[in-house]
Chain A
Amino acid sequence: MSILSGKGKVKLNGQKGLTKDKPILSIEAPDVVYIPLVLGMATDFDVHVKEGDHVCIGTKLATRKSMYVPIYSSVSGTVKGIEKRMHVSKRLQQHIVIENDHKDERVKAIEVSNPDDMSQSEVFEAIKELGLIGLGGSGFPTYIKYSHPENIDTILINGVECEPFLTSDHLAMKRDIKALFDGTQFLMKAADAKKAIIAIKEHKPDLMEMLVEEAKNYPSIEPKEVPDRYPMGWERVLVETVFKKEYDKLPAEIGVIVNNSSTAIALSKGIRNGEPITHRVVTFSGNGVVNPQNVEVAVGTPVNYIIEKIGGYIEDPYDETEGFLLGGGPMMGKSVMNDTFVIYPYCNAITVLKKENIKPLPCLKCGECTLHCPAHLQPVRIMQGEKGANVELLEKLEVDRCVECGMCTYICPSKIEVTDMVAKAKRRVQLAQKRKNA
């Protein structure tokens, strides 16, 4: 009942029109690429190459230790070494430096002899060996989701892309629609699921038409439209909207596994062609770039290289405009202090926004944040608890369920940085719990 729980969603101005109808610009890899040895928060990698080694597109460079995730080279050339460089995580991280010989020699990451006749465990192994990660921005190793599938009957393909400005998934789906369905089928195989649903936002008639047409060849895959709301792309909101059922921690509790559409496409390409994740479609948008559009680039390409190639930042002749560079969309993307960081495998957008002077007013306790939080938390109370350093209150408010989607700050009429306060509260509670358990 949204009378008691609030809407939990909002219709926001997506501004997708900036990039939706422009073709994907393929940008050649630069002379030097830097492959980050980072996956989310993990930096523990076994590096398999050393300085001087010759590599091709698809050569395995390193493997993550804690969860098996191999990473591959996106260019062919020579390994120059490892160097520390600014990473999107706002820290200096290790990167493998590769000098590009521009020959684009390829090597297969995996070899599958019988793609149309694979067993469940074979698909699983393929997923693992390809180093498939959540390409919707999470970077979570996909094989973990499929390691012990029990009673999974539906694969939900998340093509919603609810972040404003983003259109990379949309254009990738249109371009590689066959691979999308193909990959979905593999995922169904991996989970032994009976059917799959491909979910996209409504009001995309061009994509929907193509999906419906292609679905004729795949009777167990159904395209479905969901309302155009933020954050419809969040797993929890999407599953509850499509299946009308709630779950506590994982959608597997109700027999569903969710994967991003680009992940499905990458799986298909990986199994059919042996391609690991070496290139990806990235949306460069925002009011800070001259020509917002989608580009296809090699993993490891520095952002400033791409920005130059697409026309650069906007410049005001009279004033030095300040702007932010966000890794991701404007809602959940984090600002990086300069544009030297590289495109990482699970990067789907770079948003450049002009700085706005926003002066916050006192909180008027209107409760809009509570009404719109997709996790149905109470951000205003969490803010009060954080200001009073009241860990007990914060625990009662279940602050650990926050995913920092940014809805509370977006909706606050007083322009208060609510999400920031909630994030701080989360850290406070985590710290307190660590201390308690220590």
Chain B
Amino acid sequence: MKITLQRTSPNYRQKLSTHRIMRDLTIGLLVIVAYSLYNLYYNYSSNEPMMAAALIYLVSVGVGLVTEVVWALIHKENIVEQLKNSFPWVTSIIFALTLPIGTPLYVVAIGSFISIFLGKLVFGGFGSNIFNPALVGRVIVHLSFGDKLLPYIEAMKPITSGGFDITTAATPAAALAGTNWMGGEAFQYTLMDLFLGNHGGTLGETCIWIILLVGIFLAVRKVFDARIPVAYMGTVLVLSAVYAAACGLDIATYPFMQLCMGGIVFGAVIMATDPVTSPTSPLGKILFGIGLGFLTMIIRLKANYPEGVLFSILMMNMLTPWIDSLVLGRTNQKIGKQVLSIVLSLVVAMGCVFGIAEGVKADIAAAKAKEEADRIKKEEAEKKKAEEEANSFNWRVLEVVDGGYIMETYGYGGEDKPMKIEVKVSQDTVTSVKVLESAGETEYYGAEIIKGTNVASEKGKAFYDKFLTGEFKTSEIDGVDTQTGATLTTKGIVNAIKGAIVMSQMEREVNGDTYIYTISEVGYTQDKPMKIKVTVDKASATVKSVEILESAGETEYYGAEVIKGTNVASEKGKAFHDQFLAKEFAFDAIDGVDTQTGATMTTKGIVSAIKKAIAATK
């Protein structure tokens, strides 16, 4: 033996080497790959999903290897050495495992190339990259080809034959996101479902128990430091528990459901633990894990983005050098300070999640309140409309005068002392309104409005100025505000005016007790009103006949059927026809009739015309 000099010491090494680490990692990944293929084979009658997945893996690894080989050739390095020391297949397999099954192969190829080239080689190769290389590829593919990353195979569009097609249902994370992360009836997955992985998602992320087993194996073999995945998953559990507590969900199961969805376990065990891109010190690793948990939960809950794992890992990769630079000195000194930093970051994270939970609750409450307010508003509007409708026939024609009518309506004085108002209408203008008798309207109130004195309220004076002094268009009386401080009086005057307008729009023939009206009424089509002839007998207070002269705007199968009384109309429609269009009926039979016949607008139009005719006859 020749004695030579070895400048450095020590000269003893442990057996664990980087090659062994990467080899064990590859084995773990292949277990997950094998399971994913088996799962696809088992759940489908055809081999197509399994072949699709296998192709994705092959293309990814193949492109990765080719990229490395080309790089080695360009840099005139030994190809075998390059491949042996750069471990491209690990990155490619991880990248493939993050893709959904419907990813087109060209997207896989581009992504794999980007992972190896932009994610690792340009930084200086193995050991020099800042970001997790597989995630670099995944994120770029996500942003550039997002809509092509389908959770199902295009050629195998949904099979609607019962059963649960795992590739086409929304992923559990997306489903839960839709319920503001609160679950409830909309979310149908149980914890066992999630644990076993019988649902859609990317190729590698669904089967939780396999990933956990592989993770334990890799931690024991010292492939990675268990501190990172434990801190990551632990923080997710803690923050989910805070969210559950704040929102009243089940604290026992909710955190675990959050953990088992959306690739957290896969990300924690396979991607976050990449030693090159995570801090070196034990405290740094724990803070890294906490930061990951915090970011993932924030992205999920606040940005409502189901797949927060990718981005949170990349963001924490960015912060790794900073975390390293914070943890200086010896690792067993200032234990108090170290523990404090861990506790503080957890507390801050919990506080933020709590705040978000409160915010979400407030949002939900606000949305509910708005819904309630909207509903009330709608109810009130409908009530008002019904009231108005009812009121539109609260008038009587006493006399027909030159250019108008003398109407009788009820004001404050009610039925005992009705008002007598002369309203003259010409085409679309009300030319004059004169209150002839108003004994029932009190001083200081209605009387002032009628006289237009300054004693009336402002609104009342305005009403007088507008409607009792000059001319106004017929359309202006619609929706007028009758809250003048003398509401009943005002309402009475408005009814008179409205009645006069209605009268002016009808043709009336009087033959003793028989009044024949020809009324133009809008039904289904706004610009094609119906022309209805109503024959009324004043003496017997009956409507003798209702004839629909024109009904071009009423559609077949609907209004037209009601008018014709065919069997095609709905039951209610036929009943309406039989009761009101086919025979005579008493005046009060039309009150409160149900217009929901399936051709409501037509029916409402007919009813309106009948009511006008009745009112005009009384």
Chain B residues with CB under 8 Å of A8's CB are: 332
Contacts of A288 in B (CB 8 A): 1
Tell me whether A377 and B330 are in contact (CB under 8 A): yes
- CB neighbours of B324 from chain A (8 A): 381
Q: Does A320 contact B2, Cβ atoms closer than 8 Å?
A: yes
Contacts A333-B9, A362-B128, A370-B281 given: A355-B227 contact, CB under 8 Å?
no
Q: Which among A25-33, A263-271, A334-342 touches the partner chain? A: A334-342
Contacts of A323 in B (CB 8 A): 1-4
Give chain B nearest CB distance to A231 CB in angstroms: 11
Any chain B CB within 8 A of the CB of A322?
yes
Closest B residue to A414 using CB positions: B18
In the complex, chain B residues whose CB is within 8 Å of the CB of A406: 9-10, 12
**B225 proximal to A (CB < 8 A):** yes
Other-chain residue from A90, A314, A324, A371 in contact with B282 (beta carbon distance below 8 A): A371
Q: Which of A5, A322, A326, A371 contacts B11 (CB 8 A)?
A: A326
Residues of B contacting A324 in the complex (Cβ-Cβ under 8 angstroms): 3-6, 11
Confirm or deny: B303 has a beta carbon within 8 angstroms of a beta carbon on chain A.
no
Residue in A closest to B4 when the chains form the complex, CB atoms = A322
Cβ contact within 8 Å between B1 and A415: no
Q: What is the 8 Å Cβ interface bit string for chain B, positions 206-231, against chain A (1 contact, 0 not)?
A: 00000000000000001011010000
Question: With A401-B330, A415-B17 known to touch, is A420 a contact of B11 (CB < 8 Å)?
Answer: no
Looking at A1, A288, A353, A366, which has the most chain B CB atoms within 10 Å of its CB? A366
- Shortest CB distance B135–A (Å): 17
Contacts known (A4-B282, A4-B339); A361 close to B127, Cβ less than 8 A: yes
- The interface stretch among B272-280, B554-562, B582-590 is B272-280
Looking at B9, B13, B227, B330, the one whose CB has the most chain A CB atoms below 10 A away is: B9
B85 at the binding interface (Cβ < 8 Å): yes
Q: Please, how many angstroms separate the alpha-carbon atoms of A376 and B1 in the complex?
A: 38
Are A364 and B276 within 8 A (Cβ)?
A: yes
CB distance from B327 to the nearest CB of A (A): 8
CB-based contact B331/A5 at 8 Å: yes
Q: When the two chains form their complex, are residues B1 and A315 in contact, meaning their CB atoms are under 8 A apart? A: yes
A365 close to B127 (CB less than 8 A): yes
CB distance from B162 to the nearest CB of A (A): 50
Residue of A with least CB distance to B124: A362
The docked-state distance in angstroms from the alpha carbon of A413 to that of B17 is 4
> Are A381 and B5 in touch, CB under 8 angstroms?
no
| B600 touches A (CB below 8 Å) | no
Q: Hey, which chain B residues are within 8 Å of A419, CB to CB?
A: 8-10
Interface residues of B in 25-76 (CB under 8 A from A): none
A196 to B580, CA, bound (A): 119
Q: How far apart are the CA atoms of A436 and B347 in the complex, in Å?
A: 44
Complex Cα–Cα for A373 and B283 (A): 15
Within the complex, the shortest CB–CB distance from A7 to chain B, in Å, comes to 10
Query: B432 at the A/B interface (Cβ < 8 Å)?
Result: no
Our pick among A314, A335, A338, A339 for the contact of B6 (Cβ within 8 Å) is: A335
Interface size on B, residues (CB 8 A): 50
Residues of B within 8 A of A42 (CB): none
Whether the pair B328, A396 counts as a contact (CB closer than 8 A) is yes
> Counting CB contacts under 8 A, is A404 at the interface?
yes
Neighbour of A376 across the interface among B11, B280, B328, B333, CB < 8 A: B333
Residues in A neighbouring B127, C-beta threshold 8 A: 361-365, 414
- Asked if B330 and A376 make an inter-chain contact with CB atoms under 8 angstroms apart, the answer reads yes
Known contacts being A4-B332, A313-B1, A376-B330, is A361 close to B6, with CB within 8 Å?
no
- Are B10 and A337 interface neighbours, CB within 8 A? no
What's the Cα separation between A373 and B279 when bound, in Å?
Answer: 17
Q: Give the complex CA separation of A244 and B483 in angstroms.
A: 89
Q: How far is the CB of B344 from chain A (nearest CB, A)?
A: 15
Residue of B1, B14, B18, B330 near A314 (CB, 8 A) is B1
Q: Which of B3, B20, B282, B286 has the most CB of A within 10 A?
A: B3
B window 425-443: CB within 8 A of A: none
Within the assembled complex, what's the spacing in Å between the Cα atoms of A373 and B9? 15
- Name the residue on B nearest A331 (C-beta): B10
Question: Taking A324-B6, A365-B278, A381-B324 as contacts, is the C-beta distance between A415 and B13 under 8 angstroms?
Answer: yes
Q: Contacts of B4 on A, CB cut-off 8 Å?
A: 322-324, 337, 355
Task: Tell me the minimal C-beta distance from A236 to chain B in angstroms.
Answer: 11
Query: Knowing A364-B127, A365-B127 touch, does A331 contact B12 (C-beta < 8 A)?
Result: yes
Known interface pairs A5-B282, A330-B10, A376-B333; A335-B5 also in contact (CB < 8 Å) = yes
C-alpha gap A234/B529 in the complex (Å): 106
Bound form: Cα–Cα A259–B10 in Å:
24
Which residue of the partner chain, among B13, B85, B329, contacts A397 with CB atoms under 8 Å?
A: B329
Contact B338 A4, beta carbon cutoff 8 Å: yes
User: A358-B13, A364-B126 known; A413 and B20 CB under 8 Å?
Assistant: yes
| Pairwise interchain contact B85-A361, C-beta atoms closer than 8 A | yes
Partner of B280, one of A313, A326, A378, A420: A378
Of all chain A residues, the one with the shortest Cβ separation from B16 is A413
A182-224 Cβ-contact flags toward B at 8 Å (1 or 0): 0000000000000000000000000000000000000000000
Q: Are A420 and B125 in contact (CB under 8 A)?
A: no
Min CB distance, A155 to chain B, in Å?
26
B7 within 8 A of partner (CB): yes
Q: How far is the CB of B442 from chain A (nearest CB, A)?
A: 88
CA distance A331 to B585 in the complex (A): 115
Let me know if A409 and B10 touch, CB within 8 A.
yes
Interface pair A378/B331, CB less than 8 Å apart: yes
B-chain residues with CB within 8 Å of residue A398 when the two chains form the complex? 329-330
CA distance A371 to B222 in the complex (A): 12
Q: Is the Cβ of A365 less than 8 Å from the Cβ of B276?
A: yes
Interface string of A298-328 (1 = CB under 8 A from B): 0000000000000001110000111111100
Chain A, Cβ-Cβ closest to B17: A413
B12 contact from A4, A410, A420, Cβ within 8 A: A410
Tell me the bound Cα distance from A368 to B4 in angstroms: 30
Q: Does B574 contact A (CB under 8 A)?
A: no
Q: Complex: how many Å from CA A354 to CA B329? A: 37
Within 8 A of B (CB), among A1-17: 1, 3-6, 8, 10, 12
Max count, chain A CB within 10 A of own CB: residue among B11, B17, B275: B11
Interface string of B435-478 (1 = CB under 8 A from A): 00000000000000000000000000000000000000000000
With A333-B9, A361-B18, A406-B12 in contact, is A339–B280 under 8 Å at CB? no
Extra contacts, 6 of them, besides A361-B85, A370-B280, A375-B330 (Cβ < 8 A), are A330-B10, A362-B128, A365-B278, A378-B331, A380-B280, A410-B13
- Could you list some 15 contacts between A and B, CB below 8 A? A1-B339, A4-B283, A4-B332, A5-B335, A313-B1, A314-B1, A324-B4, A333-B9, A361-B85, A366-B225, A367-B225, A367-B281, A410-B12, A413-B21, A417-B8
Closest 6 A-B residue pairs measured CB to CB?
A: A362-B127, A406-B10, A5-B332, A313-B1, A367-B280, A376-B332
